[in-house]
């Protein structure tokens, strides 16, 4: 059935990948022999998503709300959508306000794709999310939150440790110095996190082992995606740690980026092991009340082989070149099918049964019914 779909997204500044293209750079400065393929810009990604939704016969409008509440509200009121495809990742240039956007949709009574406000907020607050996961019997790295350097003491944790922002996502605040091996390095790193990054530091035991990501679509775990570490050195010649840094994820010209390679699915994982990892991911997804789609990032402890959950991403990138899409493709879906499936989840909720009325509201309905019969 033809429905009205409104795609909302936001981009304030020029896309860095547009600038890269204008510069015409084909290789990183530090190794001219390496080839860098141009990444799609945010605008191109949104246009591809729009065409994918249109391929299902829907009437589609798309609005970049930038950072303007009135623009967002006007887009909803003027388009009167059956469903909003929510691709807004921040508001007022603050990722911590991401969850307030779908809260507005709920206040307006408009169905939307993706996770609800509580799941978005909880997943961004890593210590809270991990406490919830642990309460469900899922393995997470042991760790503590430090608000200041003065709190650095014997934490009861085993080195090496990894220091990351307690309330950030997309590998923000993570670089080649994030893994520390002694108390002095820990002090320096926590100081940088608290005073430069302006965030509390989440200090965790570093899990040595393979990094496996599990994309989940609806309630279905997709084929696994492994981030394989190839080694290399940073700008100072120091060995790069086996972690996904911010530059590894977002800077195609960086040493970090070329030290990591994605493989989907990992060819050497036994079917039983893959199924166990997918089961753990699905349990984490449900524990945090996720819906529609998310990605669970894990490490397989090299000693036990057990998966430890690093984080749950409730709003993963849906670009054609991203890990989530690679997993969907490995499952036999086309890109358009993946996008349409996400929209269909929201359309099914809109067409489904209304919320059950309980409590005082139920008493009021009962009272009105009796008055009407009298």
Beta carbons of 200 and 242 less than 8 angstroms apart = no
Q: Specify the CATH number for 4-121; select among 3.40.50, 3.30.200, 3.90.660, 2.60.40.
A: 3.40.50
Query: Domain residues of the chain, as ranges?
Result: 4-121
3-state SS, one letter per residue, for 29-59: CCCCCCCCCCCCCHHHHHHHHHHHHHCCCCE
pLDDT averaged over the chain? Answer: 94
**CA 345, CA 151: separation in Å to the nearest integer?**
46
Instruction: Residue 38: count other Cβ atoms within 10 Å of its Cβ.
Output: 14
pLDDT at residue 372, rounded to an integer: 80
Q: What's the longest Cα–Cα distance across the chain?
A: 86
**CA 216, CA 294: separation in Å to the nearest integer?**
5
Q: Which two tokens stand for residue 170?
A: 């997309």
Condensed to tens digits (0 to 9), the pLDDT of residues 232-246 reads 998 888 999 999 999
pLDDT at residue 283, rounded to an integer: 99
Measured at the alpha carbon of residue 302, what is the angle toward residues 298 and 303, in degrees to the nearest 5? 125
Position 357 pLDDT exceeds 80: no
**CA 276, CA 279: separation in Å to the nearest integer?**
5
Distances (CA, A) of 218 to 55, 211, 347, 348: 20, 23, 13, 12
**CA 249, CA 274: separation in Å to the nearest integer?**
24
Kindly report the pTM of this predicted structure.
0.93
Q: Which two tokens stand for residue 56?
A: 């299902």
Least confident of 153-157, 263-267, 271-275, 370-374: 370-374
Position 356 pLDDT exceeds 80: no
Q: Which two tokens stand for residue 136?
A: 């469900």
- Average pLDDT of span 159-183: 92
Closest CA to 181 of 202, 162, 153, 208: 162
Position 130 pLDDT exceeds 80: yes
Residues contacting 158, CB < 8 A, separation 6+? 205
Q: Which two tokens stand for residue 132?
A: 């919830």
Beta carbons of 10 and 90 less than 8 angstroms apart = yes
- Average pLDDT of span 129-138: 98
pLDDT at residue 19, rounded to an integer: 78
Position 54 pLDDT exceeds 80: yes
Condensed to tens digits (0 to 9), the pLDDT of residues 78-93 reads 999 999 999 999 888 8
* pLDDT cut 70: percent of the chain above it: 99
Position 371 pLDDT exceeds 90: no
Position 363 pLDDT exceeds 80: no
pLDDT at residue 369, rounded to an integer: 81
Per-residue pLDDT band at 366 (split at 50, 70, 90): confident
Position 358 pLDDT exceeds 80: no
Q: Return the percent helix, strand and coil in the chain, to nearest 5.
A: 40, 20, 40
Position 136 pLDDT exceeds 90: yes
Beta carbons of 265 and 274 less than 8 angstroms apart = yes
Please return the burial class of 76, using the count of CB atoms within 10 Å of its CB with bins 0-12, 13-18 and 19+: buried
Measured torsion, CA atoms of residues 342, 344, 347, 352, in degrees rounded to the nearest 10: -110
**CA 260, CA 255: separation in Å to the nearest integer?**
9
């Amino acid at each position: 059935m033809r429905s009205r779909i409104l795609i909302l997204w936001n981009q304030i500044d020029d896309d860095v990948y547009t600038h890269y293209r204008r510069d015409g750079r084909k290789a990183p400065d530090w190794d001219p022999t390496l080839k860098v393929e141009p990444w799609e810009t945010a605008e191109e990604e949104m246009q591809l998503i729009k065409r994918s939704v249109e391929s299902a016969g829907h009437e589609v409008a798309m609005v970049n709300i930038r950072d303007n509440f009135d623009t967002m509200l006007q887009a909803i009121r003027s388009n009167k959508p059956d469903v909003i495809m929510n691709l807004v990742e921040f508001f007022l240039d603050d990722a911590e306000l991401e969850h307030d956007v779908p809260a507005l949709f709920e206040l307006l009574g408009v169905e939307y794709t993706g996770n609800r406000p509580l799941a978005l907020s909880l997943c961004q607050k890593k210590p809270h999310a991990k406490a919830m996961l642990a309460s469900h019997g899922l393995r997470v790295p042991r760790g503590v939150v430090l608000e200041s350097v003065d709190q650095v003491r014997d934490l009861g944790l085993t080195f090496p440790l990894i220091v990351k922002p307690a309330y950030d996502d997309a590998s923000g605040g993570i670089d080649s110095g994030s893994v520390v091996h002694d108390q002095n390095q820990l002090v320096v790193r926590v100081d940088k996190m608290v005073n430069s990054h302006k965030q509390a530091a989440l200090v965790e035991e570093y899990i040595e082992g393979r990094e496996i990501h599990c994309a989940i679509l609806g309630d279905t775990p997709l084929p696994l995606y492994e981030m394989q570490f190839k080694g290399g050195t940073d700008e100072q010649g120091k060995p790069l740690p086996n972690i996904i840094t911010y530059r590894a994820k977002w800077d195609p010209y960086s040493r970090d980026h070329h030290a990591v390679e994605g493989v989907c699915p990992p060819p050497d994982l036994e079917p039983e092991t893959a199924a166990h990892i997918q089961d753990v991911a699905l349990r984490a997804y449900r524990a945090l009340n996720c819906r529609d789609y998310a990605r669970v990032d894990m490490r397989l402890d090299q000693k036990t082989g057990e998966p430890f959950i690093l984080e749950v991403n409730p709003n993963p990138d849906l670009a054609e070149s991203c890990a989530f899409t690679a997993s969907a493709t490995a499952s036999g879906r086309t890109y358009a099918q993946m996008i349409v499936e996400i929209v269909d989840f929201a359309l099914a909720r809109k067409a489904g049964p209304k919320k059950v009325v309980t409590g005082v509201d139920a008493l009021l309905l009962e009272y009105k019914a009796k008055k009407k019969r009298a």
